[in-house]
Each structure stands twice: as C-alpha cells, then as structure tokens.
Amino acid sequence: MTSTSISFDARVSAVAKGDFLQSLRGILRGVERETLRINPNGRLATTPHPARLGSALTHERITTDFSESLLEFITPPESERGKTIGQLQDLHKFTLDSMGSERLWPLSMPCFVEDQNEIPLAWYGDSNVGKMKRVYRLGLKNRYGSMMQAISGVHFNFSLPEHFWKQWALLHGQTYSTDQVSADYFAMIRNYRRFCWLIPYLFGASPALCSSFLNGKSPNLPFEKIGKGTVYLPYATSLRMSDLGYTNAEQSSLQICYNHLDNYVKLLRNAMYTESSRFKQFSAGEGGNWQQLSHNVLQIENELYSPIRPKQPTRSMEKPSDALARRGVSYIEVRALDVNPFSEVGISQSQIDFLDVFLLTCLLIPSEKLMPEELQLTNDNIETAVLYGRKPGIELVRPGGKITLQNWAIELFEHFAKTAELLDSAYGSSDYSASVQLERDKIIDPGMTLSGKMMAQLLAENRDNGELGLNLAEQYSTKIRDCSYKYDDETVFHKMASDSLQAQTEVEGNDTKSFDTFISDYFSEPPAKKNA
C-alpha cells in the first residue's frame, strides 16, 4: 500500500478512533520569535546584548540572531496547549525588565535605520564556535547587506509523537522506522509548499515599510507613499517574504528536492561545497582575513532561505545535514510567519491552533512527489500572495490551470474544518474549530487579515509604520511589565543567565585549536553515514 493510496477522508476517519486520536495530544510545538531592540525614539538600539540576559552563545532561551540588536526568544517543545504563549510572555517580561528604557520592535520590517553600518553584528565571545558564528554573520552582511538581516520573523516548530507515527505506519501497511517518519514529514513538507501561499495571506503583516529600507535598491514595484517616510503596496501581505526581504538569487538554481531525505541532504551538502563566482570576491580566511566562512553558495546549511525546513537537533559541532542523515527528521520548522503586530509576543494562541490544523492537514492530504515544474509554481504563488494577495480576483496557478486565491482557499478550508474537529475531539475543546472559522472569515474579507488591519490603521490616519510600531512597542512594554510570570520567574531567568555565562567561559577555556584549523576541520569532515 503506497502512502498516497488512502484518501484524506479515510485518513481522517482512521485518526478519529481510540489511541490514534489521543496521540494527537502529544503534538509538540515551540516558537522562535525575533525582535529588534529600539530606543524610546524608535531608532535602533546599538548597545551590546544586555549582560543581565546572559550569554547569547550558550543561553537556551534568549539569544541573538544577526545583530546584537536582534533578539531571539526560543521556547522549548511543549505538548500543553497555551503554555508556549505563556513562556513567551515570561521571556518578554524578563527581557524588558533587563533593558532599561529600551523597547522591543513589534513589526517584521526594521525601524528607521539611516545607514546599514549602524546595525552591529552579533558578538559571541572569543571561542572558536563564537568566532565562527560572527564570521558567518559577517559573510551574510557582505553577501546580502545588513538591512535584509535585520528583518524579524517568527518560526513555528511542530512534531507529532512516536505513538502517532506507529499508528500511521500501521494504517499504511508500513513498518515503523525513522525512514518512514522522515518520508512522511517530507510528504507534509511537500503539501506545505503547495499551500504555503495561504500563510502570508492570513498572517503576513508587512504590507508597508520605512523608505530607509529601500536605500540603494530600485525595486520595480508600484509603491505608494503614506505619512512622512513610509511606502506600501496596496494589496501586499508580506513584503518580508518578497524579493525585498529574505531572498538569495544565488540559491534560485539549487532546486532543493523535497521528495527524499537523501536527495535533500545531498543537495544541501553540494551547495556548501560548490564555489560561487559572486561570493569569491570576499576573503574566506586567506591571510587570516575572514569576511565569510567560505566562497561557496552556502556558508552553512542555515543560509538556505526556505519557508519550511526539516530539522533534527544537532550535537556538538554536528552539521544539520549530518544530523538529518544520521537520525532522520525529528520536527519541522515553519519559517513563513511575520511578526504579528497585534500580539505583544509576536504570535497569538489562535495562530498556533490554526498552524496545528494546517500542518496536520498537510499530512492528511495525500502528497504526490513535487517535481521541479510544480515547485516553481509554489514559489510563484508565494510571490503573488505576498505582493498582491488581497487584490480582488487575484489568481494562483496549480497543475491543471489557474484558480482564484479565494476559491482555492475555500477548498482548503473544507479540509481544515475536518482536521479541526479531530483536534477538538482529542483535546476536548472547540478552540481549533474557532481558529479555522476566524481564518476562513479572512478569505471572505481580506480587510480582516493582519496586513489588511495594519493598512487600514495607517491609511485612516495617514500614519507612518514607524509611528505605529513605536506606539505598539510602548503599549506592549507597559502591558508585559505589569503582567505576572506564568511559568518561569525572575529567579529562574537569573540562574539561566548565570549558567549560560559559566558555560561560555568553559567553551572558551576548552579551545585547543587555532581558528583556521577549527574551520578547516569543521568543513573537511567526511559526509555522515546514516545511523553513524
């Protein structure tokens, strides 16, 4: 029996019974939320990472991304619904209490930045691994510019429990194994790519941006102006996801395969070891001059820009591709989410509920192999949705022809409603169905989307997005500071910070190699063998 021979409805019926249904309560989810630190005047804070937060290198919950100014909050995998939002609130509260007068920027697109050289690169100390992280970021700056790297997003991590996968294998006449689980995660990923245009339509919240972001760029887009220095596209949903945001022309020819784990890993590795004529201009250790980690298409696997990634936790100095090859897919990371400006922590519980529904539906719908031609269609559909998603009658393309975004979405919501009933039954709740209805209403009325609501506010008052962002930052700072801790209090966070600083000291003290040797050894390791 093949994995696509059982219909969506048959799968729903099977999952709705007994232990199979109860296994859905073991879904693990987590969030990684990025946010810029800003000064009270709305300008980028260029101060170092606050010492009270601990070490950005070794802290498990609070770190930095590209810049010292770009914080990243990480919640651990949790099965309890609602706990992730509470953990995010705790992280935000402790951080704001540790930042003095600084605030957290509530939008995906950066605040006003006069010169990209104002954006300070993240610093991780003097260890080899710390230096590697910094050189990687210097490479990103040289390759793509700092402004692009100052964009903030939200990543959603999702996994199904072992008991679910055992029941799933039994349903399909297969033997439970890491190979089977990886193959089915890839089936989920393929459907996610097919339907991913819906995520920026619903949750995109960057239809406008500060004109300073366009310095040195000449986008051929019909921008209109609002306020003193904001530009926008009338029907845009997520400029963060457009060519103005996370883009990499060098990667466009990679044709990453989502049909088989082995091919996915192989293509990632090839990109890490294939020289780029464009990036050869920057030094990669020649004469001790490190402007990037390598001359290759990807410095490391994380440089691959994708709206979703298969993931396996890495061990010390293990490459992500090696972890996948050795132990298979453990969870998936959704990367197409803008920061929600209407939530003080960047994402709402209703969004998380809907993402549970969306991803489980991507598994329940039979998923054929994704050929290069269809993969290109998925990319084209995302581009259409991010630039023109709220335009009446806008069309997308799928195998077989064109269809309006609204009609395709309505088709999908028929599936989402059935999946939501499954999850509600498992959790003894109606929240999942409520989240689906909330998002379905946005299909009928684009003004209800996050981007639609944001543009309505800006246009009604001829307001700059910078002013909106600063006002929200002030509101959220006050609201979060006034809240009580829910799961981890100040004592716990102080200990995390102290432990992380001690861990960084130990990492630095254990170095025995020069940085040049360290990097050479990291990249010269032979490809990992499965189950090694």
Q: What is the CATH number of the domain that holds 427?
A: 3.30.590.20
Q: How many domains does one find in the chain?
A: 1
14 pLDDT more than 70: yes
Q: What is the pLDDT of residue 530?
A: 46
* Amino acid symbol at 243: D
Domain extent for 166: 8-524
- 16-22 mean pLDDT: 96
pLDDT-based confidence at residue 525 (cuts at 50, 70, 90): low
> Measuring CA to CA, how many Å separate 125 from each of 135, 319, 350, 393, 502?
12, 21, 39, 53, 12
With helix as H, strand as E and coil as C, how does 365-427 read? CCCCCCCHHHHHHHHHHHHHHHHHCCCCCCEEEECCEEEEHHHHHHHHHHHHHHHHHHHHHHH
2 occurs within a structural domain: no
468 occurs within a structural domain: yes
* Weakest mean pLDDT among 3-7, 335-339, 395-399: 3-7
16 pLDDT more than 90: yes
Longest alpha-carbon distance in the chain: 65
Tens of pLDDT, residues 434-481:
999 999 999 999 999 999 999 999 999 999 999 999 999 999 999 999
**% of the chain surpassing 90 pLDDT:** 88
The rounded mean pLDDT for the chain is: 94
Q: What is the pLDDT of residue 246?
A: 61
- Are the C-beta atoms of 181 and 329 separated by less than 8 Å? yes
427 occurs within a structural domain: yes
3 occurs within a structural domain: no
Tens of pLDDT, residues 171-224:
999 999 999 999 999 999 999 999 999 999 999 999 999 988 887 676 788 999
Q: What is the pLDDT of residue 531?
A: 41
Order across the sheet with 230-232: list the strands: 208-210, 230-232, 224-226
Would you say how long the chain is, in residues?
Answer: 532
398 occurs within a structural domain: yes
**% of the chain surpassing 70 pLDDT:** 96
423 occurs within a structural domain: yes
Q: How is residue 480 written in tokens?
A: 């979060």
> Measuring CA to CA, how many Å separate 339 from each of 156, 260, 300, 374, 440?
11, 31, 25, 29, 20
pLDDT-based confidence at residue 317 (cuts at 50, 70, 90): confident
Tens of pLDDT, residues 103-159:
999 999 998 888 888 999 999 999 999 999 999 999 999 999 998 899 999 999 999
* Weakest mean pLDDT among 56-60, 370-374, 393-397: 370-374
Q: What is the pLDDT of residue 524?
A: 84
Residue 319: φ, ψ to 5° = -70, 145
Distance CA 249, CA 144 (A): 10
pTM over 0.85: yes
Q: What is the DSSP-derived secondary structure letter of residue 317? A: T
CA 455 to chain centre: 23
526 pLDDT more than 60: no
341 occurs within a structural domain: yes
Distance CA 215, CA 206 (A): 18
325 occurs within a structural domain: yes
Q: What is the pLDDT of residue 290?
A: 97
